[in-house]
Structure 1
Amino acid sequence: MNNTLSLEKIINIESFQKIQDDIAQATGIAIIMVNYEGKAITNHSNCTKFCSMIRKIDRYSAICEKCDSRGGLESVRMKNSYIYICHKGLVDFAAPIIVKDQYLGAVMAGQVLLEDNENIELEEIVRVNKDFDNLGEDLKKELEKEYKNLPVVSITKIKAIAQMMFHISNYIVEEAILKMSLNEASHKLKEENKKNQLEEVNIEIEEENIDENVNLKINEENEIKSPIIQAIEYIDNNINENITLDKISLVCNLSQCYFSKLFKKETGLNFINYLNSKKISKAKELLVSTDEPINNIAINLGFEDCGYFIRVFKKSENITPKKYRDLHIKNSSI
């Protein structure tokens, strides 16, 4: 995972804010998302008046931030939601957002009280002090009033909401990262296709230039010879060799692909068919004018396999080399 990834870059904050607001409204708890540095990246949803007032008091605000930081770190260590008691006795939880072992941030939620009949021990992340010492009498009374108005929730519901937020937030982030990866792969593929198309265009232009300019060579007598004429002359002068497409392309100083295309364009035949027709013509001469064994004739014409020579001959003449020889010897003796 790239270390430059951040929640701000990979999710739509505005869309997540709407989801966060709806969940907060449905569950009656306060929710906010923070990045890996602990900085808020969404607005507080359903924040209680009590907590809003506490966070405006400097000495309490610093302790609130300490609670949030410690809660987030504990959730990362556990790799799951972490439920705890804040310094004013409220129940909060942190649901970490972890993708491929990288901590990207957390969903912080809570600001509720447990039901009185539930005897469950939660860690007091900072020493609990419910008193409001050294505050003005009016502010103290208002805080005590808002404390009594805090939502009261069962621990079962808190655990369920914590797990829900853990799964929802991680799912949204993982899907966003997957979408980013697919978009990057798609962009890369498009760029590669553009590059390949450009290379194909350049190749076509290069081939056209070869066809128009480089394709012609002038010998000492100022005779113009194209590569195909050179190829035909080479075949005629070296009919006894095993002439391959690779070899003839090198002779003409062209790529195999372009040579094949140009040869078909200028002769109307593909290279192999043309070569075989010339070899069969020579074979017919030798069958009639010599008593060389058919196997020797095949080898002398560059056919490494006599069976292949016979098949090529029969395909061309509709008769085997032996019958062709016998027929012409018989005709010549009449």
Structure 2
Amino acid sequence: MTTLESLQISKFLDLKKWKRLQDSLATVTKLAILTVDYKGIPVTSHSSCQAFCRNVRKDPELLPYCQKCDSRGGLEAVRLNAPYVYLCHFNIIDIAIPITVDDKYLGAVMAGQVRLSDPENGMELEQIVSSKNKSLHRLKEEQLKEAYEQIPTMTYEEVVKISNMLFLLCNYIIEEALGKNLLAEMFEKAAGTDEGIALSTLLPGFTIKNIESVKKNMTNAIADAYLKNTLPGEGTCTNPVLKPAIDYIYHNKSKNIHLTHMAGLCHVSPSYFSRLFAKETGENFTAYLSRLKVQWAKQLLEVTDMPVSQISDELGFNEPGYFIKIFKKFAGLTPALYRKAFREN
């Protein structure tokens, strides 16, 4: 994607539906939220914009400062590949959540318009845009003093927790939207080659109604193709009692596997299974399974373009946020950063 058109957020998100979600998030988090493009120009209207900020943005001399904050905050967030918490030109807390596709920066979700109730914990925050017209800023602060005092407050810890939650949510939604768009484009291109072509011709037995099943079958096949061959020595077990469990793990990579189920397969109690397993592998069942799935995830990140959310699903994680947490614990970085680092080497 190199053209300006390809970098448009509207190609990946239904902005009307996104705005409804944005409104809900603003209500739940008590933050003002706005989505901007890669230039810092809004692509949605504000959700829960504070009166102070609303009035500042109406001022033609001050609006460029706000837009510059949005733009620079978004760029810093994408550079870090993480939420970026900073101070705007009026020293109000803002958060930039990067929106990227294939390492291309599309824009950002801007949240914030809060003050810290414990400013001593936010001493390291950067004021990303400083005022070049201090007299204008002072005058506006005096005019809107009452509105400024009505800006809600949060602790620094609350701000960080909410920013991380928004980051995981935005990544998940973008990856889901990207997967659906790619599948739709595939069918459009195929249909374009023959005016009378039908879906049943492309994929016998499938209909438009179960197109998500098509997608699932495709990604399952891809994952299985890359993971069916393990490295020499992997999946072997010297204890015959544990062999049914080890075999099951390696032949059911997409399942969410529980210790009690494995103990049942081996016809032993969960506590005895745990002791045998730790003696055999040198680690407890949960750690072993997590490490193994992270190893498989690395393979998929290296050799496929499968979105992180799909890899999470293929490896049996309940939700992408938990997968990212486990991956970072064992690999030391997020799946997206791992893929980027691998492809840059």
SS in 1 for 2:144: helix
SS in 1 for 2:146: helix
Cα contact 2:118–2:155 (8 A) shared by 1: no
Counterpart CA distance in 2 for 1:7 and 1:73 is 15
CA root-mean-square deviation: 2.7
Which residue is 2:21 aligned to? Answer: 19
Counterpart CA distance in 2 for 1:153 and 1:70 is 23
Map 1:288-327; keep pairs closer than 5 Å. none
Cα contact 2:56–2:63 (8 A) shared by 1: yes
Counterpart CA distance in 1 for 2:29 and 2:137 is 34
1:235-291 per-residue CA deviation (whole Å, 9 max, x = no partner) reads xxxxxxxxxxxxxxxxxxxxxxxxxxxxxxxxxxxxxxxxxxxxxxxxxxxxxxxxx
SS in 2 for 1:88: coil
Larger radius of gyration: 1
1:100 paired with 2:102, answer yes
Counterpart CA distance in 2 for 1:15 and 1:27 is 18
Counterpart CA distance in 2 for 1:64 and 1:187 is 40
Counterpart CA distance in 1 for 2:174 and 2:113 is 25
Map 1:250-289; keep pairs closer than 5 Å. none
Counterpart CA distance in 1 for 2:137 and 2:104 is 43
Map 1:139-288; keep pairs closer than 5 Å. 141-190=142-191
Which residue is 2:125 aligned to? Answer: 122
Counterpart CA distance in 1 for 2:28 and 2:170 is 17
Cα contact 1:83–1:91 (8 A) shared by 2: yes
Cα contact 1:79–1:98 (8 A) shared by 2: no
- Work out the percentage of aligned pairs sharing the same amino acid: 39
Cα separation, partners in 2 of 1:61 and 1:188, compared to 1, 3 Å: closer
Gaps of 5+ in 2: 199-345
1:128-180 per-residue CA deviation (whole Å, 9 max, x = no partner) reads 799765877xx765511011100101111111221222222222122112111
Counterpart CA distance in 2 for 1:153 and 1:135 is 24
Cα separation, partners in 2 of 1:36 and 1:191, compared to 1, 3 Å: same
SS in 2 for 1:24: helix
Cα contact 1:95–1:108 (8 A) shared by 2: yes
| Aligned pairs, number | 195
Gaps of 5+ in 1: 198-334
Cα separation, partners in 2 of 1:83 and 1:129, compared to 1, 3 Å: farther
Which residue is 1:55 aligned to? Answer: 57
Q: TM-score if structure 1 supplies the norm length?
A: 0.53
Counterpart CA distance in 1 for 2:48 and 2:173 is 21
Q: TM-score if structure 2 supplies the norm length?
A: 0.51
1:23-44 per-residue CA deviation (whole Å, 9 max, x = no partner) reads 1011111001011222211110
